[in-house]
Amino acid sequence: MIGRIRRAWDDLRGGSAPRIVGLVAAQIAVARAGAVLALEAALGRLDHATARARMAGVEHEGDEARAELVRALRRALATPIDREDLYRLSRSIDDILDQLRDYVRESDLFGPGDLTFAADPLRAVIDGLGELDGAVRKMLDDPGGVTLAVLSARKAGSRVRQLYQTGLAELFGGPFEMDLMRRRELLARLDAVGRRLGEAADALADAMLKRSH
């Protein structure tokens, strides 16, 4: 009972909004850590099996971060943006991490020895998540700045798609080999990561548009 009273008082003083923003940022940070881990493996700094094992831990952190955010949203009387949009944003961030997990797992299961072709798409994902983090942190104090940061995050997602298409063109321009099929599958997985990044950016953009009306 006392806890509920404290939370209600905190809401009335506007304390819940910064807490929720921090929880969304924490979820983005975990997804970004997953992308950095995948990049390390693509550059040969981690072997595939080690990357897969570490990604399992990152995924667990992501699940915990999302669960904590969901609990906070259920308790909060007021939220910085529409509650439904926050759920949508959180789900898209979770989807990014899920796709990265699948990419790392598939790299270990059937990926080619050389994964450097995945480095640039993963760098774009990392940059996009950084922009998304910046956008989220501006929700309260700089709503106008959210739009530019969201646009940059969306552009990063589009960059992943462009790299996917370029990668396919290069693959299909060479001889047919088994590695071609493996690389195509992994490129498609990274393309899915980019699409989820775009969806997260769209969720935040839609939320800010509602808020401005």
**Number of domains observed in the structure of the chain:** 1
Alpha carbons 130 and 149: distance in angstroms, whole number: 9
Confidence (pLDDT) at 13:
40
Alpha carbons 49 and 87: distance in angstroms, whole number: 33
For 151-210, write each residue's pLDDT tens digit.
999 999 999 999 999 999 988 887 667 677 888 999 999 999 999 999 999 999 999 888
- For 120, half-sphere exposure in the C-beta direction (CA atoms, 13 angstrom radius) is 12
Confidence (pLDDT) at 15:
62
Alpha carbons 188 and 80: distance in angstroms, whole number: 35
Q: What range does the domain containing 86 cover? A: 2-212
**CATH number of the domain bearing residue 111:** 1.20.58.220
Confidence (pLDDT) at 78:
81
Closest CA to 208 of 142, 127, 152: 142
Contact by Cβ (8 Å): 111, 182: yes
Spell out the per-residue pLDDT of the chain, length 213, in tens: 444 444 543 443 446 889 999 999 999 999 999 999 999 999 999 999 999 999 999 999 999 999 999 999 998 878 888 899 999 999 999 999 999 999 999 999 987 778 999 999 999 999 999 999 999 999 998 888 899 999 999 999 999 999 999 999 988 887 667 677 888 999 999 999 999 999 999 999 999 888 665
The answer, as to whether pTM is greater than 0.75, is yes
Alpha carbons 9 and 189: distance in angstroms, whole number: 45
Confidence (pLDDT) at 113:
79
